[in-house]
Amino acid sequence: MNSVITQSPAKINLFLKVVGKRANGYHEIISLMSRIDLFDVLTLSFEQPSITIRCSNPRVPEGKNNLAYKAASFFFEALPSSNGVDVWIEKVIPVAAGLGGGSSNAASVLMALNQHYGLPFSNMKLMEMGQKIGADVPFFLLRHSAIVSGIGEKLEKFQGMPPLSAVLVCPNIEVSTKWVYESLNLPLTKSGKNFTIQDFREDPFRMLKSLSNDLEAVTVARFPEINNIKQRLLELGAQVASMSGSGPSVFGLFEDLEKASMAFQAMKHQECGDIFLVSLLLP
């Protein structure tokens, strides 16, 4: 088979705590991350003379700066007998929105290439490649909800994630992850609150209300509309509302799909960006 079509999911950070900063400048975090059923669609055509990346969204780089390109490059360096690949990305996940779209694309390329060439690499080897590409790539290679720590390289599968529905709002603003972390005042944003996985499973909404996203304070200070969206989602019945990653995307979690659907319909009439009705992908 010379081509394959694969889906590449987005993610949300159900909470994100910044717990330290390494000597090299990278911040250490702990976060509960889950994939959601919002997908880019990738078409990979194999046995090409070189690596080419094309995308339906003109804002996405198509050359060596694209994480999918880096993924293919690392793969072919490790398997010299292989050829190139053409990747067409039908972009659905909003760009630069804190949803991990680029990292997910990279993980999907690694997995598709590995499958096509007869599984020459273990998942652990793919993880090693992923760490060189981007902090969220190993998470997407895991294909499971996870507690993510370190700079994204430490992963613990989170078993028993409840089937939660969410309304996802992506404002029409761009937020630089690099700027957010550089602007972070760690002593002011680090809350020090603790949680246990068992507590989360027993009452996820209560636990998430007691936690938060430490990056939110930085992003909201510059873009106050993010907080307005959070408040509107809470007014519409969300049990919890929070920013994902470095933003600007905001999600509201609901007790059931019916309540989430009603909130989704209400939010559609407000001019606040792209709006999606999504569910957490299980496991």
CA-derived radius of gyration, the chain = 19
Q: Which of 17, 70, 86, 136 is catalytic?
A: 136
Element (H, E) at 251: strand 250-254
d(CA 135, CA 12): 14
Report CA 184 to chain centroid distance, whole Å: 20
d(CA 237, CA 99): 23
Q: Which of 11, 17, 70, 91 is catalytic?
A: 11
Contact in structure between 133 and 103 (CB atoms under 8 Å): yes
d(CA 7, CA 18): 30
Q: Which residues pair with 123 in a beta bridge?
A: none
11 in catalytic set: yes
Contact in structure between 151 and 20 (CB atoms under 8 Å): no
Q: Which residues pair with 6 in a beta bridge?
A: 42
Catalytic residue positions? Answer: 11, 136
